[in-house]
Amino acid sequence: MVGGDQADLGSPGLVIPKGDTRAAAQAAISESYPEFVRSGIIDVVPGRVIALEDTEEGHVTARVQSAAGEVSIEGIGAVIYATGYAPASAVDFLPEDVKQELHYDSSSDRLPIILSGWQTMVESVPDLAILGFYEGPFWPIVEMQARLTADRWLSKRSVTRRPYEETEKLLDLRKAMHERAFDVPQYWFGDYAGFMEEMASHLQLHRNDGPFSKREGIVSPARYLSTDSDVTQAVAIMQDLHETWHACRDQGRYVPRATFLALQGDWDIHRTIKSALPSFPSGVLDGTASFHPRAPTKDKTGMTFDLEYLYIESGTLVLSNGASMTARRRYVYRYSEAKDTLSVWFVKPDNNLEVDYPFHDLEFVKPAEAAKEGACVAKADHLCVDDMYWTQYRFPFKGISLLKFENTHTVRGPNKDYVATTSFRRAVKHSG
């Protein structure tokens, strides 16, 4: 979810102009979108495409109307129409007299019809049921609306109009939407849990909380059972939800995935090496590092991975004896969804794009310990011939983002005795 002022990503197109209270747009795009913007691979141009035109050279140019005027984007290779859909067309086939009862308005993208009965019906046309005209968590609501409709038609039980579904109130809401009033919420029926509870109460369903306590866990249709429900299936669903919820809350499931995604992009690095052996001098390195996304590659182990970065590091190493040199390093970072693991691999000496063998797997501490540390902490180890590497990572998340992190390698053995600490920090860009 991209929302609010994204000035730190370095794109003028994601900056909220001063005094513009409507500019904090929110859009669900993808997990990797922000870092593609930060790295400059995605260039954001705010505005609306008004035309696509062929050039004499056989290329395509897009004309974009922006707040600053019209601009052109040349060399268009593909166009993705992410324009959403107009819900009014779903009921446009209905007879005119029915549409009149629905207060049909084809110009309204959010509230084209006025319904009651938890947004399933209009009282003057009792044989009509409409499902899915709802903003928010969608499929559980649709399932409960279907159960409500079946009960209304089979039991003939009346459905009273809710106070928030009064026709005049909804027409006023539609008018406010047209006028883009400030008090129109993102979801006009925002109480998802309350909506589900109200329908369940009306249908006289009994609760199936499973291992959850009464006010714990997530809302699901499987928590509400009727006499003809598949109890075995509902219990299994709640058990599965509880196991997943418990694994996330107490065991830290998906923390490796969140960490992997947060690493993407470019970093400034600073490394200090403190050695106890004269033959292995201490030193300081300053440079840059990048986590480049690529399609998962194969290796001799036959293991499969879902996500992969090629890590490229370059910098200047200044040793304690005064010597300096350019230092380069590459690894491959990989994530397995089936195992929920993040691992680091060496690349082949003769082909620094190809995976060779594993360096280490990151073992994340439990959430309770991470809370005490003030950061997600992961540990790893690796035996290199006779020298042992112990590694610790600290990931101080800011929401789902990382602006900095650190790793420390402690190396002991007959050939090495040093501690290397590397700090990674994003260069925060400000635009506009």
Residue showing tokens 């006028």: 179
CA distances (Å), 36 to each of 49, 69, 259, 293, 405, in order? 22, 26, 16, 10, 19
Interacting residues of 153 by C-beta distance below 8 A, sequence separation 6+:
129
User: Residue 123 has what pLDDT?
Assistant: 93
Judge residue 67's burial from the number of C-beta atoms within 10 Å of its C-beta, 0-12 exposed, 13-18 middle, 19 or more buried.
Answer: exposed
The model's pLDDT over 395-429, given as tens digits with 9 standing for 90+, comes to 999 988 899 999 999 999 998 999 999 999 997 66
SS3 245: helix
Give pLDDT < 70 ranges for the chain. Answer: 1-5, 19-29, 428-432
User: Residue 431 has what pLDDT?
Assistant: 52
Measured CA to CA, the distance from residue 74 to residue 408 in angstroms comes to 46
Measured CA to CA, the distance from residue 240 to residue 234 in angstroms comes to 10
Q: Where are the domains of the chain?
A: 1-44, 48-83, 88-251, 255-426
Judge residue 291's burial from the number of C-beta atoms within 10 Å of its C-beta, 0-12 exposed, 13-18 middle, 19 or more buried.
Answer: buried
CA distances (Å), 84 to each of 27, 30, 66, in order? 12, 16, 20
Instruction: Tell me if 343 sits within 8 A of 368, measured CB to CB.
Output: no
Measured CA to CA, the distance from residue 298 to residue 355 in angstroms comes to 8
Task: Compute the C-alpha angle 343/344/346, nearest 5°.
Answer: 145
User: Residue 24 has what pLDDT?
Assistant: 57
Measured CA to CA, the distance from residue 36 to residue 431 in angstroms comes to 16
User: Residue 361 has what pLDDT?
Assistant: 97
Instruction: Tell me if 289 sits within 8 A of 312, measured CB to CB.
Output: yes
pTM beyond 0.75, yes or no: yes
Homologous superfamily (CATH) for 255-426: Calycin beta-barrel core domain (2.40.128.20)
Q: Residue 411 — φ and ψ, nearest 5°?
A: -120, 125
Give bridge partners of residue 269 from the DSSP assignment: 287, 424
Q: Radius of gyration (Cα) for the chain, nearest Å?
A: 29
SS3 content of the chain, % helix, strand, coil (to 5): 25, 30, 45
Measured CA to CA, the distance from residue 139 to residue 129 in angstroms comes to 16
The model's pLDDT over 176-214, given as tens digits with 9 standing for 90+, comes to 999 988 888 878 887 899 999 999 999 999 999 999 998
Q: Residue 170 — φ and ψ, nearest 5°?
A: -70, -35
Measured CA to CA, the distance from residue 9 to residue 41 in angstroms comes to 12
Interacting residues of 348 by C-beta distance below 8 A, sequence separation 6+:
354, 355, 356
CA distances (Å), 123 to each of 88, 120, 141, in order? 20, 10, 20
364-392: string of b/e by CB count within 10 Å (b at 16+)? bbebeebeeeebbbbebebeeeeeebebb
